[in-house]
Structures are given as C-alpha cells and as structure tokens.
C-alpha cells in the first residue's frame, strides 16, 4: 500500500525568507501524481502545486516550487519570499495505483514570523 | 460558481443521535468524495461516488452511509453517533478520477459527539 510521510510536524520561517517542507512516499507504482495542499485556519483545502512522476522537470507556481527526487521517493516544497498569508497547514498527497485515490500525509504546520 | 458547499459548518451531537452532512457542488463533476480529518492526521477517505447512483467505500467507512441521487449532491449520513466520529469532515469533487485531476474541497464541517 502507498504511504505518505511528513516528518516535520511544525516549521517556522521569517517573513521574506525561504523554507522547505519535506515529504517522502512509498509506492511500487511508476505512474502517479504528487500534490501539495495548503489548509489555512479557515480550513479550506487549496491546491498549491502538483507534479507528474514522469516529468523530470520540477513544478513551479510563482513562489512555490518542488524538489522531486523520484528514485529517493522524495517530494519537498520550497516556499520563497515567505509571506504572512503562507501560514497554514501543508499536506503532501499521492495519487496513483489501482485505486487512484488521494493519500495524504499528516501535515506540516508552518508559522511565518513577521 | 460556488464550488463545493457543505452544511452545517459546526454541529454537536449526543451519543446515539443521527445526522446528515450535506454536500453540493455546482461544477458538474462526476466524482465526489467524503473525507474525515482527525487532529494531527491527514485526511482519510470515507466514501466516494463516481456518478449518480454509484457509491463505494473508502478507507474508513464504518458508521457512515452515503447516497448519490443527483450529480450535484452527495450527503453523508451518520447513524448512532459515537465519540470516535468527532472529527472535521470534508467533501470534495473532481471531474474524473484521472491522476492529474484536482480535487476541489468544501470548507468542512466540524462535528463533536459528546
């Protein structure tokens, strides 16, 4: 079965600095997608970025980028120029395999210090 | 578009009571999902539906029932509420089950069973 692990329950970053959130996953599949979702205090889950396993190029969305290491099964999220509005819980998620269901990690709570 | 809407936002139930969590989407999505989020955990799939009249169990279906009579609505029924069902419940939808497809989430319902 596929699993997603986020080993950092909490992280903190200074405003305007860069922070990297870690995510590792376990799968025997070769075709899958990985996602980062943001959950602010409002609870609304918002898709931040997605990465297809077959693409070697790391995905980028404005200040958000990923470091996808397929062989190491690692999928970290880098937030550049951190803003107060980036403070949230961030979930890493995997989708693939026979069921194609979203499997979530336990989340990383990011605090942004002014 | 309102996206995915859920009612109620908050609810307190007594042990043994029943209730229905409502979920509606206006994006004409075929796939709909119910998740629960326990403190310090990621989201776990309760039930999902691939279209009107078709539902299937997810990872944690015990104690819940669903129905899908229309494309727009996907209610989740709790029978004989138990303290273990205290959680935040999220409804989501997607156009298809394709790996690349984004799931759009509702704002969640915080349920407490006392």
- B100 vs A27, higher pLDDT: A27
Which residue in chain A has the smallest CA separation from B42? A106
**Mean pLDDT score across all residues of chain B:** 94
State the average pLDDT over residues A43-60: 93
- A100 vs A87, higher pLDDT: A87
DSSP string, chain A: --EEE---SEEEEETTS-EEE--EEE-S-SSEEEEEEEE-TT---EEEEEEETT--SPPEETTEEEEEETTTTEEEEEE-S--GGG-EEEEEEEEETTT--EEE---EEEEEE-
pLDDT of amino acid B114: 95
* pLDDT-derived band at A96, boundaries 50, 70, 90: confident
Q: Is the pLDDT of residue B68 over 90?
A: yes
Q: Is the pLDDT of residue B106 over 80?
A: yes
State the average pLDDT over residues B17-22: 97
Among partner residues A4, A43, A103, which is closest to B107 by beta-carbon distance? A43
Cβ(A92)–Cβ(A74) under 8 Å? no
pLDDT of amino acid A101: 86
pLDDT of amino acid B3: 93
pLDDT of amino acid B77: 97
User: Given the structure tokens 């205290």, which residue do they identify?
Assistant: B86
- Largest interatomic CA distance in chain B: 40
Q: Is the pLDDT of residue A30 over 90?
A: no
Give B96 to chain A, closest Cα distance, Å. Answer: 10
pLDDT of amino acid A1: 79
pLDDT of amino acid B100: 82
Answer whether A91 sits within 8 Å of B108, measured CB to CB: no
pLDDT of amino acid B99: 79
- Largest interatomic CA distance in chain A: 45
Q: From the candidates A6, A7, A39, A45, which should be mutated to test the interface with B, based on the most B CB atoms within 10 A?
A: A45
* pLDDT-derived band at B110, boundaries 50, 70, 90: very high
* pLDDT-derived band at B2, boundaries 50, 70, 90: confident
- Say which DSSP state B73 is in: B
| Interface membership of B44 toward A (CB under 8 Å) | yes
DSSP-derived 3-state class of residue A27: coil
Answer whether A100 sits within 8 Å of B99, measured CB to CB: yes
In B, which residues are within 8 Å of A44 by CB distance?
105, 107-108
Q: Is the pLDDT of residue A99 over 80?
A: no
Query: Prior bond to B8 cis, omega within 30?
Result: yes
Which residue in chain B has the smallest CA separation from A101? B97
Cβ(B42)–Cβ(B72) under 8 Å? no
CB under 8 Å to A99, separation ≥6 — which residues? none
| Interface membership of B57 toward A (CB under 8 Å) | no
B28-62 per-position pLDDT tens digit: 999 999 999 998 888 999 999 999 999 999 999 99
In A, which residues are within 8 Å of B42 by CB distance?
4, 91, 93, 103-107
pLDDT of amino acid B75: 98
**Mean pLDDT score across all residues of chain A:** 94
Q: Is the pLDDT of residue B10 over 80?
A: yes
């Amino acid at each position: 079965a596929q699993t997603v692990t986020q080993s950092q329950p909490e992280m903190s970053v200074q405003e305007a600095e860069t922070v990297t959130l870690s995510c590792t996953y376990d799968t025997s599949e070769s075709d899958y997608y990985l996602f980062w979702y943001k959950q602010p205090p409002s609870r609304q889950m918002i898709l931040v970025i997605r990465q297809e396993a077959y693409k070697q190029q790391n995905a980028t969305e404005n200040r958000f980028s990923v470091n996808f290491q397929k062989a190491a099964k690692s999928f970290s999220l880098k937030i550049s120029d951190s803003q107060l509005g980036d403070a949230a819980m961030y979930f890493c998620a995997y989708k693939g395999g026979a069921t194609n269901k979203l499997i979530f990690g336990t989340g990383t709570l990011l605090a942004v210090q002014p | 578009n309102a996206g995915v809407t859920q009612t109620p936002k908050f609810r307190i139930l007594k042990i043994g009571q029943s209730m229905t969590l409502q979920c509606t989407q206006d994006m004409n999505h075929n796939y709909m999902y119910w998740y629960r989020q326990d403190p310090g955990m990621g989201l776990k799939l309760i039930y999902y539906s691939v279209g009107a009249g078709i539902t299937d169990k997810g990872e944690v279906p015990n104690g819940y029932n669903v129905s899908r009579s229309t494309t727009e609505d996907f209610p989740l029924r709790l029978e004989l509420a138990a303290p273990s069902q205290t959680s935040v419940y999220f409804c989501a939808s997607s156009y298809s089950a394709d790996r690349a497809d984004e799931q759009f989430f509702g704002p969640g319902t915080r349920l407490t069973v006392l």
